Amino acid sequence: MSKILVSKRVYPEAVEFLRKDFEVDYEGTDAGLTTEALIERAKGCDAIVSQLTDKLNAEILSQLEGIKVIANVAVGFDNIDVPAATERGILVTNTPGVLTETTADFAFTLLMATARRIPEGHAFVHSGEWKTWLIDLLAGQDIHGATLGLFGLGRIGAAVARRAKGFGMRILYNDAQPAPAALEHELDARFVSKDELLRDSDFVSLHVPLTPETRHFIGAAELARMKPTAILINTARGPVVDEVALADALEKRLIWAAGLDVFEREPQVEAKLLSLQNVVLAPHIASASVATRRRMSMMAAENAAAALKGERPANLLNPDAWTA
């Protein structure tokens, strides 16, 4: 019987599903496994159901003898060296699609909370400092009719754009390639250069994968090009933004505010960000609805099971490893 290592706590139905056909070594803790423990526990296993906290680089992959598939419980997979896995014939899968709408909901939640200063208002009421109505008390930025700039018009970026249309927002986007004309027409979205998007947008929302090309995609130079009233939203990956440069820009009020769900060195956060009022911080929970996280757990389990049964997984990231 094939054996699967589940490296960290997932929704229980995913483990129950796997136990029907496989031996399962389940690390049902929130801490998960250290790298050393993961390598040791993977011995004798045929698959790993991994999470973003499992950093599976080429060196670690070389020590995972016998592993046929790594099923990541996430749409992002920058925690896994996919080319190195491909060289070793290890299939790698992710969980796309299922979290699109939930993540888009949260990106727009961050946009609204940041623009209208909801966390500041919440804290102000709880503090007991609220004494009277004032003409400019916690005045923020309008969302309706504003310009939204999207870096990345894939599944999630397009879903955010659909929400923005309901607010009458003008939509600009930039991506590696222009989107299909039909999608541009549906969203009334216009492809522009990176500079034009930064210059003209009231809100800039990031929806790009983390690659060598997108690391620090938003840094000091980009922040300087944005409007002083602009708001940056990041629900993509933390290293897409230079966190030190962002903290500096927020402190100097070079931009109005930021809403962040991801950070460069999670769970560490740039200390200066923690001291600023014009940034809304969330602990990487954009896809964290009960239904979505449950489905992500099941999808990863289904991917692992399919591979071990000799079936091509539905969400295979490296088809070259399948055909090799």
Say whether both 226 and 111 belong to one domain.
yes
Residues 108 and 89 in one domain: no
Do 318 and 272 share a structural domain? Answer: no
Same domain (yes/no): 181, 271:
yes
Instruction: Say if residue 127 is in the same domain as residue 252.
Output: yes
Q: Catalytic residue among 163, 237, 293, 295, which? A: 237
Q: How far apart are CA 205 and CA 259, in angstroms?
A: 9
Q: Are 110 and 199 members of one domain? A: yes
Identify the bridge partners of residue 6 per DSSP, sorted by sequence position: 26, 49
Active site residue 284: yes
- 110 with 62, same domain: the answer is no
3-class SS of residue 310: coil
Same domain for 73 and 220, yes or no, is: no
- Could you tell me if 106 and 43 lie in one domain? no
Number of folded domains that form the chain: 2
Q: Are residues 143 and 74 in the same domain?
A: no
To 10 degrees, what angle do helices 100-115 and 118-127 make?
A: 60
Distance separating alpha carbons of residues 39 and 139, to the nearest angstrom: 53
The residue from 9, 88, 162, 284 that is catalytic is: 284
CB burial of 49-60 (b: ≥16 within 10 Å; e: otherwise) equals bbbbebebeeeb
Spatial contact of 173 and 120, defined as CB atoms under 8 Å apart:
no
Regarding whether 250 and 296 lie in a shared domain, the answer is no
Q: Please list, in sequence order, all residues whose beta carbon lies within 8 angstroms of the beta carbon of residue 110, skipping any fewer than 6 positions away.
A: 233, 235, 259, 260, 261, 280, 282
The yes-or-no answer on residue 293 being catalytic is no
User: Which of 87, 101, 186, 266 does the annotation list as catalytic?
Assistant: 266
Q: What is the pLDDT along the chain (324 residues), one digit of tens a residue?
A: 899 999 999 999 999 999 999 999 999 999 999 999 999 999 999 999 999 999 999 999 999 999 999 999 999 899 999 999 999 999 999 999 999 999 999 999 999 999 999 999 999 999 999 999 999 999 999 999 999 999 999 999 999 999 999 999 999 999 999 999 999 999 999 999 999 999 999 999 999 999 999 999 999 999 999 999 999 999 999 999 999 999 999 999 999 999 999 999 999 999 999 999 999 999 999 999 999 999 999 999 999 999 999 999 999 999 999 975
Domain check: are 150 and 214 in the same one?
yes
Which structural domain range is residue 307 located in?
3-96+290-323
CATH of the domain at 208: 3.40.50.720
| Residue 145, Ramachandran bin (φ over 0: left; ψ between -120 and 50: alpha; else beta) | left
